[in-house]
Structure 1
Amino acid sequence: MARKAIRDSQKNKQNEDHIQKAFHHLSLACNKDGQMSQAFSLRGQCYNQMGDFQRALFDFSIAIRIAREKDEDPKTLSEYYNYAGVQHYELGQLEEALNHYNLAVNNYQQDGQYFYNRALVKSRLDKVEEAIQDYKKAIDLLGTSEQDSRYQAFFNRGICFRRIGNLERSIDDFKEAIKMRNDKPSAHNNLGLSYFENEEFEEALIHYGKAIGIEPSSVHYNNRGLAYYHFDKLEEAKQDFDLAIEKDPNDPTIYFNRGNVFLNWKPEQQFDLAHQDYDTAISIDPNNAKLWHSKGLAFQGKAELVYKRSERQDLHLIDLAIEMYQKALSIQ
């Protein structure tokens, strides 16, 4: 393990040295001849690799200007527009990124990566239907040698289809993604999510299980716990939520979910345990109305249980339930 870490460290250092040397020579070229678009583009790529997106954008902007002035071929100009779009995207400037990806696509329509990049931006700008069309174009254009990009296009389009409620198409896309990369836990997890939303809980359980087998994360255990909960398999749900909390004790959603399990426990509801989990969730996220409302349900449920057993009202519990509901309403 230590030897591998040393080798990785040495490899990273060598890569950094190569980038620095390339950057030095490209800077000399840019300074010597300020009319070489390729030199500015290559230096921009070095800046990109170094994480300096603002300087990279500056160099790609110069490359674009030179290429336009020299009337360079549309394919080269599109490449520069695409690179500029990537920098805007990394800087969080989504509208500017979209403008540059539009220019890239308009100048050269045979590169699937340009459509893929534009789809990413459109998805983040909530132009989901348009993003789906761009992912389709990307999938059609990306070749078999670009399997990672094709996988990501199917994966992202699956998410887009789920966002617009087209769960069958979403499921189909995640299946295609899994055919290409069966080792990706996120693909199995997202296929599980689409099955879950389509109320196909058994299929959801299968793919959450596969995601856990690859990466036993809190997210995957929590998702499978929810599927068990909707299957009314409360013991299995509790076990998964226990494991999720072990992995991430600071996620209020998991405590909320386990609290709901206790609130619906059979043969008898576990109100005190439900309260403990809701209280923990509230301590992490005190402005979540849903958590306070659930505490109100727990107080109300316990008051009803007391009444069934003794045929008398526990006004204190009823008052507490009302207080929780009022708190939830005040947050909403």
Structure 2
Amino acid sequence: MSDKNQLGVTYMKEKNYEEAAKMFNEAIEENPNDPVAYTNFGNLLAMVGELEKAIVFFNKAIEIDGSIATAYYGAGNAFYNMEQYKDAIEMFLKSLQNNLDESDAYFMLGMSYYQEGQLPHALANLKRAVELNVDDIDAKFQYGLCLAQLEQIDEAMKVFIEVIERNENHADAYFNLGVAYAYKENAKKALHYFDRAIEVQPDHLLAGHGKKKMEELLEN
């Protein structure tokens, strides 16, 4: 990576986007065939919400070097944020084919499949994301949700409990445990977890609704 690329990345991390753009621009001018500079510029544009422009830069990087995994990954994120999930899937798959064997890539691929309603594909990729990074609470929670949607309730519950063990303030994990216990017709346990969700997040409407339903059930 040229010095200007490195400087640009440093500026980007410092949120000094103007200087970062200047550096990447100079890097491109000095070496118009540098795919890394185009990828960095794409990441910068994506960061400031210029998603369509970002994709132009990622495509340019890919044109120069068809094996640049980070450009595919960047394009995948941009497409995901534009809610173009099919395009996102294609890009994330290409990033993995080009050896970006990282938790984030599997997580984003899993989320793209999830948005497309392709739950078995989503599950496989979210599972891989969790295997590669056991500390990724987001990936773990989404994996649990996916299991629940595929009606693998016991497995989902284990995952939600792991999420709570890592983050005792995860209101949505408590809520989903409540839903799972309600599904299993254990109103008492369901109520307990809906209460915990509300303790953590008092404005959790779904948990409030669940709590009311369980209280009515227990009264009858």
Tell me the TM-score normalised to structure 1 length: 0.58
Alpha-carbon distance in structure 2 between the residues aligned to 1:242 and 1:281:
15
CA drift at 1:188: 1.6
Alpha-carbon distance in structure 2 between the residues aligned to 1:301 and 1:252:
18
1:156 aligns with 74
Q: Percent identity over the alignment?
A: 22
For the pair 1:117 / 2:117, whether they are aligned, the reply is no
Name stretches of at least 5 consecutive residues in structure 1 with no aligned partner: 1-44, 46-78, 145-149, 310-332
1:169 aligns with 87
- 1:175-197 CA distances to partner (integer Å, 9 max, x unpaired)? 11222326422222221111111
For the pair 1:127 / 2:54, whether they are aligned, the reply is no
1:12 aligns with none
2:62 aligns with 139
Alpha-carbon distance in structure 2 between the residues aligned to 1:224 and 1:80:
40
Q: Which has the larger displacement, 177-186 or 163-172?
A: 177-186
- 1:3-31 CA distances to partner (integer Å, 9 max, x unpaired)? xxxxxxxxxxxxxxxxxxxxxxxxxxxxx
CA RMSD of aligned residues (A): 2.7
Q: Which has the larger displacement, 211-220 or 239-248?
A: 211-220
2:20 aligns with 97
Name stretches of at least 5 consecutive residues in structure 2 with no aligned partner: none
* Structure of greater Rg: 1
Amino acid in the other structure paired with 2:210: A
Alpha-carbon distance in structure 1 between the residues aligned to 2:134 and 2:34:
37
CA drift at 1:110: 1.4
Alpha-carbon distance in structure 1 between the residues aligned to 2:108 and 2:199:
28
Query: What is the aligned counterpart of 1:246 among 146, 153, 165?
Result: 165
1:113 touches 1:142 (CA, 8 Å); kept in 2?
no
CA drift at 1:105: 2.8
CA drift at 1:100: 3.5
**Kindly tell me: are residues 93 and 151 of structure 1, through their superposed partners in 2, closer, same or farther at Cα, counting changes over 3 Å?**
same
1:256 touches 1:281 (CA, 8 Å); kept in 2?
no
- 1:233-268 CA distances to partner (integer Å, 9 max, x unpaired)? 322211111122223334444334334434x42335
Q: Which has the larger displacement, 250-259 or 197-206?
A: 250-259
1:180 aligns with 98
Alpha-carbon distance in structure 2 between the residues aligned to 1:209 and 1:138:
30
CA drift at 1:91: 2.1
**Kindly tell me: are residues 239 and 83 of structure 1, through their superposed partners in 2, closer, same or farther at Cα, counting changes over 3 Å?**
closer
Alpha-carbon distance in structure 2 between the residues aligned to 1:113 and 1:183:
19
Alpha-carbon distance in structure 2 between the residues aligned to 1:111 and 1:88:
19
Alpha-carbon distance in structure 2 between the residues aligned to 1:229 and 1:143:
38
Tell me the TM-score normalised to structure 2 length: 0.84
Alpha-carbon distance in structure 2 between the residues aligned to 1:215 and 1:137:
31
Q: Which has the higher contact order (CA 8 A, sep 6+)?
A: 2
2:39 touches 2:57 (CA, 8 Å); kept in 1?
yes
